[in-house]
Amino acid sequence: MNNQVTADLTGDKELLRKFEHLGKKAGKRVLRKATRAGTAPLVKAAKRNAPKDSGDLKRDLTQKQKFYANSGTQVGIVGAKKRQDGKSRSTWILHLVEEGTTGHIIRPKNKKALFFGATDAPDSDDGEARVDLYRQVNHPGNKGTHFLRKAAEQTQDTSAARFTEKFKTEIEAEAQKTS
């Protein structure tokens, strides 16, 4: 899952010269703000495209920033966040929803059978609920939704434009602070 949206900043030599003269700390701040502005449309589109089974995945989609000091590269990452309440499954199912799964057999890890809960329908005439226990279940797999990939394709131009716009305004603002 290597979907990338990139912005090319080779055109404005005066702007790049100002960026180089900002210093390490201010330059990092400019890149962070511009990257956040560039990934915002992607997060919004991903939330719009996300499947709505329980709503957890849609709610947990967010962005974070990563700066690689050796190369001076700022990266915006869009994915599912870990929630404070510990109830989020979104962090470990995101790739399964995006890319899909192949058919596989599900077996119990620590017990002799899998339990899937009582059903609402009575099993017999006495009105008691049925309990489903299985030694194994054949999962058919599922097709990926590719909602993140579609969001990246939909917002590529918007994200690059917002990054470039924010990059320019933040460089000007930082240049005003130093002069």
pLDDT by residue (tens digit) across 64-109? 999 888 887 888 999 988 777 766 678 888 888 999 999 999 999 9
Task: Quick: pLDDT tens for 2-39.
Answer: 556 566 666 678 888 888 888 888 989 999 999 999 99
Where exactly are the structural domains of the chain?
13-102+143-178, 104-139
Q: Cβ distance 62 to 80 under 8 Å? A: yes
> How buried is 49 (Cβ within 10 angstroms: 0-12 exposed, 13-18 middle, 19+ buried)?
middle
**Cross-strand partners of 129:** 122
Of the given ranges (11-15, 44-48, 78-82, 133-137), which has the lowest mean pLDDT?
11-15
